[in-house]
Each structure stands twice: as structure tokens, then as C-alpha cells.
Amino acid sequence: MNLENIENYKLAGIIHNKIYHDIQPLLKPGIKLLDICNIIENKIREETNKYSLNPQYNNGIAFPTGISINNVAAHYTPNFNENTLLKESDVCKIDYGVHINGCIVDSAFTINLDRSYSTLLEASKEATDSIIKELRPDMKFQELSSISEEIVKSYEIEINNKFVTLKPIDNLCGHNILPWTIHAGKLLHAVRKDNDTQIVEENDVIAVEIFVSTGNGTTILDNNINNYSHFMLKDNSDKIPIYKTKRTNDMVNIIKQNFRTLPFCPRFINDFNKKQNNIGYTFPLNALFNDGYIHSYPPLLETDSSSRIAQFEHSVFVGENCNIVLSNQDYYKNPL
């Protein structure tokens, strides 16, 4: 990895970490989920424009801020006018990303304001932190997955007067990150896979994340199209034709000019739409998806609808002699 990219990752991490500390006092019962997203994304814009020498695609926002509650694991962000409020008992996962010149830092944390699920949060955090401490070149992903599985399954939580053994989500994974590519091909499973031959390589940037559940330990796609909010332009975007509807063509131009291959949501399109506010984008997005020009990433739900899921995540640069946890540089910078 060249020095410029390393410095870009570091700056994105500094911004991410600053925002983490800034928003903590604001996360109280009764705040709108939409307001949490707006606060985080506005702070990313502000800090990126303050510290970056060049204008950034989508003002440094790497992907839609995920606000996933209880049995919703990931890929949910509120729409324009959503009024859902954060409750004390919610297990709320907050996942946001910052990029500088396409170098993305992806990090997440979970809150549970009444601490009724503190054991669940602790299991996810310990598993994530333990993997980070073991990351080094030539380390097998399979061994890291074993660490996760062993730690998570050692935890129990009392629910309705019964002790439940916690489970790592088996089909949600950590991943490596490349410039302009949030999921770059390597998958760090939370459960050991015997056929996993992947290894950690020097100069990898790896998003280490462990989802822990009180339920069945697996997720499915939400089938409610009204909840779909995460999209990403495919590499064949240069082949997108002129559509019959002006609205679709205008939206295509906004996506190409402002997001490149960064994930986006309708709220982001609206930020750049100078002609109308809060219009519906479902029809043109469906047209682009059906024609094969964008990816769609629906919310992921635990198969047990009464379950609760926690997630902690950090992005780590793996060096020859030193790891840098980009999203928490004050705490981690440990020689191997």
C-alpha cells in the first residue's frame, strides 16, 4: 500500500473517532433515529471539509449510517420522514463510515441505554477486540473465527428467567477494504469454517466485526421493499442507457457525479437534488436494479424476531511490525 493511501485511511479514522466521541452525549431516550443519522452525517461533512485538502465524493460519507434496532442486524437507515424514537430498552447498532479519496474507515458500536443487555454487548466487544489483538500477517482467518466463536459461546444471558447461550451470527462477516470498495472479497466469519483458506496479508485493511445474538444466530433478508435503503453503483455504470423518464436520468446523473462506487441511500440523492425535495425514488431505483446497474442491500433480520443483536467493529491496518486500529487510534497502536 502506498504512503498516500495510508495517510488517507489515518485521516478518515481520526474523523470517525472524533465523531464517535462527539455523539455519545446525544444518544438519549426519545431521540429520533433519523436525527442520529443526520447528526452523524452532518458531522462527517463538516469534519471532512475541514481537514481534507480536496473535495470528497459525498463529502466524505462512505455509506449510509446504519441504525439497526434489536433483531435488525444491519443495512437499515431511516427514510426522509421516519419518526421512530430510540427507546431505553433498545439494542441499537450504529454503523457509519468515513472516506478520504476512497479510503474507507468502517466502524460500529452498540448502545443499550437501560443496560438490560449489557452482557450481549460485552460478548461482541470482547470477541472483536480479541481478534484485533491477534491480527498479523500470515494469520489464518479460520483461527480468528475460532477465537470469535469460543468467546461468544462462553457467554450466557438471562431472559425471562431462563439462561440463554449467546451465538455469533453465522452469515454476517468482517471483510477487507480496498480504495473505493467497502467489501473487497475477504470474509472474516464469526463462526469457524473448515474450508476457509484465507490468510491475513501485510497491508490489509480489515473491518473486524462480530455480531452476537440472543436468538438463532443467523439472518435473512427483509422482504419488505419499503425498508430497502442501501444501494451501490456497479462497475458497468458507463453502459447505463438514456431512460424514458427524466426523473430516472436526473437520478443517474446524481449517483454518478456524487457517489462513484460508494454505497448510497435515497436521503443522499435528495441532498444533491436541487429541483425537488423528499421525492420518491423507489421507481427509478427499481428500474436501475432490475436492469442490472446497481446493487441493492436489504436490511438483514435475525430469524428469531424476538432476539437482540449487538455489533462492535473496527477497521484495522495490518502492518509488517505494527497494527493501527484506524477507528480508535488513541487506544490501539500495538507492535506485533
Shared domain for 36 and 72, answered yes or no, is yes
Q: 79 Cβ partners below 8 Å, 6+ apart?
A: 34, 229, 266, 267
Residue 336 resides in a domain: no
Q: Between the CA of residue 92 and those of 129, 287, 311, what are the distances in Å?
A: 19, 32, 9
Shared domain for 180 and 234, answered yes or no, is no
Shared domain for 309 and 201, answered yes or no, is yes
Give the H or E element holding residue 25.
Answer: none
3-state secondary structure of 143: helix
Residue 175 resides in a domain: yes
Shared domain for 234 and 261, answered yes or no, is yes
Shared domain for 191 and 322, answered yes or no, is yes
Determine the pLDDT at residue 331.
Answer: 44
Determine the pLDDT at residue 335.
Answer: 34
Residue 182 resides in a domain: yes
Cα angle 94, 263, 196 (rounded to 5 degrees) comes to: 80
- Burial class of residue 142 (count of CB atoms within 10 Å of its CB; 0-12, 13-18, 19+): middle
Shared domain for 35 and 58, answered yes or no, is yes
What is the full per-residue pLDDT of the chain (336 aa) written as tens digits? Answer: 788 899 999 999 999 999 999 999 999 999 999 999 999 999 999 999 999 889 999 999 999 999 999 999 999 999 888 999 999 999 999 999 999 999 999 999 999 999 999 999 999 999 999 999 999 999 999 999 999 999 999 999 999 999 999 999 999 999 999 999 999 999 999 999 999 999 999 999 999 999 999 999 999 999 998 899 999 999 888 899 999 988 899 999 999 999 999 999 999 999 898 766 656 788 899 999 999 999 999 999 999 999 999 999 999 999 988 889 999 865 444 333
Determine the pLDDT at residue 336.
Answer: 31
Shared domain for 172 and 237, answered yes or no, is no
Alpha helices for 52-175 (secondary structure H): 118-134, 141-153
Residue 263 resides in a domain: yes
CATH of the domain at 62: 3.90.230.10
Shared domain for 164 and 216, answered yes or no, is yes
The structural domain count of the chain equals 2
User: Parallel, antiparallel, or unpaired for β 205-213 and 156-159?
Assistant: unpaired
Which residue range(s) make up the domain with 144? Answer: 3-223+298-328
Shared domain for 191 and 157, answered yes or no, is yes
Residue 156 resides in a domain: yes
Shared domain for 131 and 278, answered yes or no, is no
Q: What are phi and psi of 44, to 5 degrees?
A: -60, -45
Can you tell me the distance from the alpha carbon of 229 to that of 174, in angstroms, rounded to the nearest whole number? 21
3-state secondary structure of 90: coil
CATH of the domain at 281: 1.10.10.10
Shared domain for 237 and 160, answered yes or no, is no
What pTM value is reported for the model?
0.95
Residue 333 resides in a domain: no
Shared domain for 246 and 307, answered yes or no, is no
Residue 335 resides in a domain: no
Residue 334 resides in a domain: no
Half-sphere exposure of 139 (CA within 13 A, CB side): 22
